[in-house]
Amino acid sequence: MTTPQLWQPRHTDGHRALAELVLRLRDQLGLEFAQIADELNSSGQLSPRGKLFYPELVYSIHRKWTARLMRDRRSVRVCLKEVFVISAG
């Protein structure tokens, strides 16, 4: 049996949009983390905790969402070796 990850934490649409923006600015446009932080701050965007962005925070968002995407793309193989059937009655 092959299945995607069975449990995924829920993220708000705002978190997802922010992560997608960070990934796009970094991976497609090639901006540095400091440049992304400056861009987010100059556009008035605040972090999920209501603070200004700084390069380490942008890096953390990028790293965590990249790892999440990699997890979502892989599948888990489950192999049952022994099955016990217990009947009541």
**What is the pLDDT, as a whole number, of residue 73?**
77
pTM, full prediction: 0.69
Q: pLDDT tens across 25-43, in order?
A: 999 999 999 999 999 999 9
pLDDT at 1 exceeding the cut of 50: no
pLDDT at 10 exceeding the cut of 60: yes
The chain-wide mean pLDDT, for the chain, equals 85
**What is the pLDDT, as a whole number, of residue 89?**
65
Task: Residue 82: count other Cβ atoms within 10 Å of its Cβ.
Answer: 4
Average pLDDT (67-79) is: 77
b/e sequence 30-64, b meaning 16+ C-beta within 10 Å? ebebeebbbbbeeeeeebeeeeebbeebbbebbee
**What is the pLDDT, as a whole number, of residue 76?**
63
User: Which residues of the chain form beta strands (DSSP E)?
Assistant: 2-3, 76-77
